[in-house]
Amino acid sequence: MVHLLRRIQEEDDQAAFRELYLSLAPQLLKFAYLYIKSKFIAEEVVNDVFLRLWHRRQHLDEISDLKVYLYVGIRNGISNYFTRNKEWEHVDIDTVSDVALELAIDPEQQMISSELRTRIETAVAGLPPRCRVIFKLIREDGLKYREVAEILNLSVKTIENQVTIAIRKIGDEIYLRTGEGRPAERSSNI
> Do 138 and 163 sit in the same domain of this protein?
yes
Neighbours of 184 (CB within 10 A): 8
- Counting the structural domains of the chain, the total is 2
Question: Looking at this protein, which amino acid is placed at residue 102?
Answer: E
Per-residue pLDDT tens over the stretch 119-143? 777 888 888 888 888 888 888 788 8
**Distances 173 to 5, 100, 118 between C-alpha atoms, Å:** 43, 21, 11
* Minimum mean pLDDT range among 42-56, 62-76, 147-161, 162-176: 162-176
Q: Which of 84, 110, 125 is the endpoint of a domain?
A: 84
- Report whether pLDDT(105) > 70: no
Residue 57 domain-assigned? Answer: yes
pLDDT tops 50 at residue 187: no
Ranges of H-type helices in 36-155? 39-55, 66-84, 107-111, 114-125, 129-139, 145-152
Rounded CA separation 59/47 (Å): 19
Mean pLDDT of the chain: 78
| Whether pTM exceeds 0.75 | no
- Count the Cβ atoms, other than its own, within 10 Å of residue 136: 25
Residue 89 in any domain: the answer is no
Give the SS3 label for residue 65: coil
Average pLDDT over residues 41-63: 89
User: What pLDDT score does 126 carry?
Assistant: 83
CB neighbours (10 Å) of residue 133?
23
The pLDDT, as a whole number, for residue 175 is 67
Q: Which domain holds residue 25?
A: 2-84
**Domain stops at, among 33, 62, 84:** 84
CA-closest candidate to residue 11, choices 50, 47, 48, 60: 60
Same domain, residue pair 50 and 115:
no
What three-state secondary structure class fits 4? helix
Using pLDDT thresholds of 50, 70 and 90, give the confidence band for residue 99.
very low
140 found inside a domain:
yes
Taking 70 as the threshold, does the pLDDT of residue 113 lie above it?
Answer: no
Q: What is the CATH number of the domain that holds 23?
A: 1.10.1740
pLDDT confidence of residue 177 = 58
- Please tell me whether residues 104 and 157 are part of one structural domain: yes
Question: Does the pLDDT value for residue 77 go beyond 70?
Answer: yes
Average pLDDT over residues 17-24: 91
Could you tell me if residue 104 is inside a domain? yes
pLDDT of 181 higher than 90: no
Per-residue pLDDT tens digits for 142-167: 888 999 999 889 999 999 999 888 88
* Predicted pLDDT at 112: 54
pLDDT of residue 108: 56
